[in-house]
Amino acid sequence: MSSKIEPQGTRDATVADESAAGAWDPYEVWLNRVKKPRDEQALTTQTTQVVSPDLSDTARLRALTPSLSR
């Protein structure tokens, strides 16, 4: 492994390409680290979630009150 010392202004374009390969895209990071895990979590939660009956006062009144003609 030989390392060549160059003055700062004489670097060629390949050095810029190497640093660009290590660059990251904020959208890709958000998509892979935030959105996809959230979507997968939501799907898992929806499939395992048991629907509970509506126990609110309004639901009870609807069940007890006969249909009113309008």
**pLDDT at residue number 35:** 95
pLDDT at residue 70, rounded to an integer: 45
User: pLDDT by residue for the chain (70 residues), tens digit each?
Assistant: 555 665 665 555 555 555 556 789 999 999 999 999 999 998 887 766 667 787 888 888 888 877 665 4
Distance CA(20)–CA(15), nearest Å, equals 9
CA 24/CA 58 separation, integer angstroms = 52
Q: Which two tokens stand for residue 44?
A: 């898992």
Residue 49, pLDDT score: 63
Cα–Cα distance for residue pair 3/10, rounded to 1 Å: 15
